[in-house]
Amino acid sequence: MIHAEKTPEIERRPTDIGVPNENHEIPLTRGLNLIQTTFLGVGTAIGGVMFAIMGRAVGAAGPSLVITFLIGSLFAFFDGISYAELGSAVPGGAGGAISFVQRAFGNTIPTFLTGWYDWMGSIADCAVGSVVFAYAIRYFLRWVEPVTIAVATLIFFAVINFKGVKATGKTEFILTSILVFTLCLFMVRSSSNFEIERFEPLFPNGFLPTLLMISYIYPTYAGYETITQLSEEVKTAGKTIPRALLLTLVIITILFTGTAAAMIGAAPAEVYVNSETPIQDAAKYFMGPIGEFLVSISGIIASLSTINGSMAGGTRITFALSRENLLPSIFKKVHPRYRSPYTALALTTLLAIVFVLTRSVDFIVYTNALGYIVTSIVVSLALLRLRKKEPQLYRPFKVPFCPYVPIIAIGMSAFMLIMLSVESLILGLVFGLVGILLLNLTRKIQKR
């Protein structure tokens, strides 16, 4: 039997046990426990985007948005349990999805494209979080310039991530604790003004918008992937990763559906539909100025939490791509003191700043959705291949009813992909072609 955490050829590489190899690689530090790992997933998922999209989503789907979130959680569960099995069976590599696909397919184009799209999704998450944070600050300080604030925020969190994973985990724990408390308070206080009649009609625009909105809200569930991206820095990863991932899915499902139901049931539609700050406006209606202030602060914290978790995850993807010789070797450097992949961090931060400078939120959001959906499809394919390729691989957690569950997950992800706009699909094709060009360039440089 092959134990995923004890296989010398693959998992027990020198960088995992703290001994520099022939290239003098410095190992990452395993500093995240179950609570910190879970809160990284929850905090990344409950991003500032949720505070911005609720109004437009209700405007399109009506009160049935609650059903959209429930369906989205089902899709996320089918995708997520594939990550749970692979994260427990292949816990020794930073980068999450790229480590799984590399184990299944080797250093091939599918492996590179998985990391490429996953990385772009994380970068887009960072950018969206910083933009939403900037506009939240502008809500209080009308004179600030949003793009400047967004860029400065990205640089600030780059410094935090440079200090290493322990600083990242502690920061995320604090931010997420405040965020979860505020959303729970929002849901509890809504009960005093809740009217079930506000859910009628449930499908004012028909059932189709309820389905179309799944792709729109799905990236908010993708925080669970951050957990596997940091697998090389998680204590007892084989057990911690599947537990943290499933806990994350349960917590964010309760918070997303609960927040949507509270907003719809406790305030008239005209208060929040198509608003840029829908949850804040609903809080002002049934909680007063204090509630508005608390939820506004919560939106700011949500944005910061997204930036922190996505920047950490995206950096590890770059690091993993470089370590597998799919990107230039400079990006696998680890700082000798803080044990953080600082060159990968610098590149991730720079690209997030570039996204912000485009000043196109739609462009960033499309990249976000595409990145995570494409990655989920390939991860499910990697699970199926590894089940056949390495049937004796030790799996602390196993997906039940395989291969049916991952096949259903692939179908669900393909459905969401089709539901995206034509512009976003063209954007995805361009990203893929650019990635392949970079891969070929990297390989030519390495052959010299």
What pLDDT sits at residue 390?
A: 92
Domains along the chain? 31-447 (1.20.1740.10)
Long-range own/partner contacts, residues 1-10 (CB < 8 A, 24 or more apart): 1/392, 1/394, 2/390, 2/392, 2/393, 2/394, 3/394, 4/88, 4/89, 4/90, 4/91, 4/92, 4/238, 4/393, 4/394, 4/395, 4/396, 5/91, 5/92, 5/237, 5/238, 5/394, 10/92, 10/103
User: What integer pLDDT is reported at residue 199 of this predicted model?
Assistant: 94
Q: Which tokens is 98 given?
A: 């790229």
Query: Hey, what are 145's tokens?
Result: 């310039």
Report how far apart, in Å, the C-alpha atoms of 280 and of each of 70, 296, 304 are.
22, 6, 17
d(CA 398, CA 395): 6
Which of 328, 331, 343, 333 has the alpha carbon at shortest distance from 441?
Answer: 328
Supply the angle between the helices 361-389 and 404-419 in degrees, to the nearest 10.
160
Whole-angstrom distance, CA of residue 80 vs CA of residue 225: 8
Identify the pLDDT of residue 2: 37
Q: Please, what's the largest Cα pairwise distance for the chain?
A: 70
Q: Which residue from 341, 198, 194, 245 is spatially nearest to 44, judged by alpha carbons?
A: 245
Q: Rg of the chain's alpha carbons, rounded to an integer?
A: 21
pLDDT of residue 22: 40
d(CA 34, CA 235): 8
Single pTM value for the model: 0.78
Whether 76 contacts 224, CB under 8 Å: yes
- For the chain (448 residues), the mean pLDDT of every run of 10, in chain order, is 37 36 51 79 74 82 93 91 85 68 87 86 85 80 84 87 63 78 92 92 91 84 74 74 87 92 93 83 90 85 78 81 79 74 86 86 76 90 93 88 93 89 80 85 78
Model pLDDT, residue 169:
60
Instruction: For residues 249 and 133, give the distance between their C-alpha atoms in angstroms, rounded to a whole number.
Output: 24
Q: Check the CA dihedral 391-394-399-401 and report its sign.
A: positive
Q: Which position has the token pair 């059903």?
A: 67
